[in-house]
Amino acid sequence: MKTLVLLFITVLTIHCTLPATAQTGNNKLTITHLTGDFYVYTTYHDFKGTPFPSNSMYVVTSKGVVLIDTPWDSLQFQPLLDSIEVRHHKKAVFCISTHFHADRTAGLEYYRQKGIKTWSTDYTRRLCAEKNEKQAEFTFSKDTTFTIGNHTFQAFYPGEAHSKDNIVIWFKKEKILYGGCAVKSTEANDLGNLSDANVAQWPESIKNMMKQFGKPAFIIPGHLSWASNKSLEHTLKLLQENESRK
């Protein structure tokens, strides 16, 4: 079920207790070093009158920078690219979105116009078209392993959860699981936006991640802190509590 996609790209080239956090100057984009070549970036969007954080990630490779999801705030599309180039002296060359909501896809068209290869699953692009969200240029239809420069990662579909199409990203060598909105931070007190969720299937999808990836060293949820690597267990707990309230 898994295909290997080798991308030889010739283009020249956050809210937790972890160190090395950098502000861009407007307090709406935070970049935090995770480990090695991995960085979490956080942007904000107004939610009920309060700025709410959205986590995404990027990876510095020998062929350029890989973006996992896009900024939620359109004003941060270019500042993120500028910050990456200043910090790493490399350009972003690849971007993959993990589901169709705007906190994952808002920057896809902007980044495509910048020459960045934008990717999602076929299903995500169909949903983006239906919901009038930005769409990726390239798609894949099943669990896929990408190799870009010196880094390899797997895009894995665990099943319906926060949305019907949500995928997660796994870096096997570093044991980093980017869970996106399918995984809730240990800071979260509820399941958040359930407008497109499959709450009945979600627990099984979390268990599929546990079975597939064992014990990740880092787990990056879509929102709030990633300081704990117990987010999968916490998500199951929130789902159980939600079910008990019915």
In this prediction, residue 245 has a pLDDT band, given cuts at 50, 70 and 90, of confident
Please compute the mean of the pLDDT values over residues 133-149 and round it to a whole number: 98
Q: Which of 15, 45, 101, 234 is catalytic?
A: 101
Catalytic residue at 208?
no
The pLDDT score that the predictor gives to residue 125 is: 98
Catalytic residue at 99?
yes
The pLDDT score that the predictor gives to residue 46 is: 84
In this prediction, residue 25 has a pLDDT band, given cuts at 50, 70 and 90, of very low
Q: What is the pLDDT of residues 214-235, one digit of tens each?
A: 999 999 999 999 999 999 999 9
Please compute the mean of the pLDDT values over residues 153-172 and round it to a whole number: 98
Catalytic residue at 223?
no
Q: Which of 193, 208, 229, 242 is catalytic?
A: 193
Q: What is the pLDDT of residues 192-210, one digit of tens each?
A: 999 999 999 999 999 999 9
Catalytic residue at 15?
no
Residue 124 reports pLDDT greater than 90: yes
Q: In this structure, are strands 21-23 and 29-35 parallel, antiparallel, or unpaired? A: antiparallel
In this prediction, residue 246 has a pLDDT band, given cuts at 50, 70 and 90, of confident
For residue 43, CA distances in Å to 54, 93, 180 come to 5, 20, 14
CATH architecture entry for 3-158+165-180 = 4-Layer Sandwich (3.60)
Residue 13 reports pLDDT greater than 50: no
Q: What is the pLDDT of residues 57-108, one digit of tens each?
A: 999 999 999 999 999 999 999 999 999 999 999 999 999 999 999 999 999 9
- The mean predicted confidence, pLDDT, of the chain is 90
The pLDDT score that the predictor gives to residue 12 is: 28
Residue 4 reports pLDDT greater than 80: no
In this prediction, residue 21 has a pLDDT band, given cuts at 50, 70 and 90, of very low
Residue 24 reports pLDDT greater than 60: no
Domain boundaries in the chain? 3-158+165-180
Helix (H) or strand (E) holding 138: strand 138-140
The pLDDT score that the predictor gives to residue 20 is: 40
Helix (H) or strand (E) holding 151: strand 151-156
Better pLDDT: 21 or 125: 125
Q: Which of 162, 165, 166, 234 is catalytic?
A: 162
Share of the chain above pLDDT 90, in %: 84
Quote the Cα angle for 129-97-119, to 5°: 80
The pLDDT score that the predictor gives to residue 50 is: 84
190 by Cβ neighbours in 10 Å (0-12 / 13-18 / 19+) ranks as exposed
Please compute the mean of the pLDDT values over residues 26-36 and round it to a whole number: 89
Q: Which of 37, 69, 73, 103 is catalytic?
A: 103
Instruction: Quote the CA–CA distance of 147 and 201 in Å, as a whole number.
Output: 30
Q: Which of 37, 55, 73, 99 is catalytic?
A: 99
Catalytic residue at 165?
no
Residue 9 reports pLDDT greater than 70: no
Fill in the DSSP letter of residue 190: S
In this prediction, residue 27 has a pLDDT band, given cuts at 50, 70 and 90, of low
